[in-house]
Amino acid sequence: MACFDLDSSQLFSNTHSIDSSFTLHFERSVSDEFLATPNACTSTQTQSVSNIPEPPPLPGASQARNSFSEKLKGCNFAPDETRRMWDKLFYDGYEADVRVVTDDDGVILAHSSVLQGINSPVLRSMLEQPRAKGGFRCIRIPGVPSEAARVFIRFLYSSCFDRDAMKSYVLHLLVLSHTFSVPCIKKVCVSQLEQALLTTDNVVDVLQLARQCDAPRLSLLCTRLIVKDFKTVSASEGWRVMKQVSRSLEQELLESLVETDSRKAERARKAEERKVYVQLHEAMEALVHICRDGCRTIGPRDKMLKGSQAACGFPACKGLELLVRHFSGCRTRVPGGCANCISRRRCRI
C-alpha cells in the first residue's frame, strides 16, 4: 500500500497574519507597561536605567514566518494509525449517508461530511441535492468500473492506494481527478505514470488523455517518449487508432519528430565545427611554439637546441614537425606525386 503525503503547510495559509498580530500585541503590551510606570523616579533609578544597554531589535515578520514554515516541513504527513482509521471508516461504511453508483451497478458507501471536506466544488455541488427516501444521497460516476471508483473514493478518505490497483486504473483515476477537480489525485497519477507506468504501448492513449485532462507535464513526457522511440510507438495499436481518430495530432507529432531530428543534426554540425576549430587552434599554437622556442630539431636558426630539452607538450607539434621536415626535403613535387605536397598546394589555392 502506498500513501500520498499531503503538505500540511497549506492548512496554515494565514501564518503572516498570525505573526504580525502577535508582534503588534507584544509591542502594545510593552508600551502599556512603560506608560504605567510612575513619573516620579529618583535620580539614582534614572541613572541606573540609563546605563542599561538597548535590547536587540525584534525579529522581523518575514524571519519569523520562514522559521515557522521550516518547522512545519517535518510535520506534513499523517501517522499510520490515522490512515488506518480512515481506511476502516471507508471500508466499514458506518453511518454512511452517500451512495456512489457506477455503470456496472456497483455501489460504494461514503460519508457526506468527509466528501464535503474535500477541496472539490463538483462534489460539494452534488452533495447539495436533497436526500432520497432511504436517507441517502446518490452520486453517479459513469464511464468507469466500480473498482476504479472505489480506489478514487478511498483516496479521498486516507490518501492511500494499492499499487496493483493504481497500475490497473491509473488512467481512470486521471479522468476522475479532472472530472471532480481533485488536483492532488491528478498529481499522484502523473507521478506514477512518470516513474513506471508510462510505456510505448500506452503512451499515445495517455497523451490524448493528458491533453483533455489539463496535464501539461504529462503531455510533455508523452511527446518526448514518442519522439525518442518513434519506431516502436508507431507500430503500436494506440498509434494506429490515433491516426484514424485524430489526424491533427499525428501531424503535430510528426512535426515534433522532424524538429527534433533537425536540432540533433544542427548540434552534430556545430560539434564538428567546434572540433575543427580546436584542431586549428592547436596547430597554430604548435607553429608559434616551433618558430619561437624551437622544438626538437626544428626552430629558429640562431637558437641552439639543448640535447636534454624536455619533450614537447603540444599534441600537434610532432605532426607539424614531420610535415615541415617533409616539405623541406621532398623531391617529388610533380602533380599526382606526393600526397602531402598536393595537400599543401590545395591549401594555398
Report the pLDDT value the prediction gives residue 119, as an integer from 0 to 100: 80
For residue 8, the SS3 value is: helix
What is the C-alpha to C-alpha distance for residues 137 and 125, in angstroms, rounded to an integer? 12
**Which is more confidently placed, 144 or 46?**
144
Assigned domain for 294 exists = yes
First-last CA distance in the chain: 75
Report the pLDDT value the prediction gives residue 14, as an integer from 0 to 100: 42
Quickly state the pLDDT bin for 6 (edges 50, 70, 90): low
Number of domains in the chain: 2
> With 80 as the cut, is the pLDDT of residue 45 above it?
no
Q: Residues 250, 243: contact at Cβ < 8 Å?
A: yes
Which of the listed residues 167, 196, 225 is the one where a domain comes to its end? 196
Report the pLDDT value the prediction gives residue 190, as an integer from 0 to 100: 92
What is the C-alpha to C-alpha distance for residues 317 and 283, in angstroms, rounded to an integer? 7
- How does the average pLDDT of the chain come out, rounded? 75
What is the C-alpha to C-alpha distance for residues 158 and 4, in angstroms, rounded to an integer? 9
86/184 same-domain check: yes
CATH of residue 83: 3.30.710.10
**Which is more confidently placed, 113 or 78?**
113
Quickly state the pLDDT bin for 146 (edges 50, 70, 90): very high
Which of the listed residues 164, 196, 228 is the one where a domain comes to its end? 196
Give the dihedral sign, CA 55/61/63/68: positive
Assigned domain for 167 exists = yes
Give the dihedral sign, CA 72/73/76/79: negative
Q: Which domain holds residue 329?
A: 263-301+312-346
Which of the listed residues 141, 170, 196 is the one where a domain comes to its end? 196
158, three cell numbers:
486516507
Neighbours of 108 (CB within 10 A): 21
Report the pLDDT value the prediction gives residue 34, as an integer from 0 to 100: 40
**Which is more confidently placed, 301 or 86?**
86
Give kind and range of the element (H or E) at residue 71. Answer: helix 61-72
The two most distant CA atoms of the chain are separated, in Å, by 118
Q: How many CA atoms lie within 13 A of 214 on its CB side?
A: 8
Please write the tens of the pLDDT for every residue from 120-143. 888 888 888 777 767 788 889 998
Please write the tens of the pLDDT for every residue from 167-200. 999 999 999 999 999 998 999 999 999 998 999 9
Assigned domain for 292 exists = yes
DSSP track, 266-329: HHHHHHHHHHHHHHHHHHHHHHHHHHHT-BTTBS-TT-PPPTTPPPP--TTHHHHHHHHHHHHH
pTM of structure: 0.59
Report the pLDDT value the prediction gives residue 173, as an integer from 0 to 100: 93
Report the pLDDT value the prediction gives residue 150, as an integer from 0 to 100: 92
263, three cell numbers:
536540432
> With 50 as the cut, is the pLDDT of residue 22 above it?
no
180/271 same-domain check: no
Distance of CA 330 to the CA centre of its chain: 63
**Which is more confidently placed, 345 or 232?**
232
Distance of CA 284 to the CA centre of its chain: 45
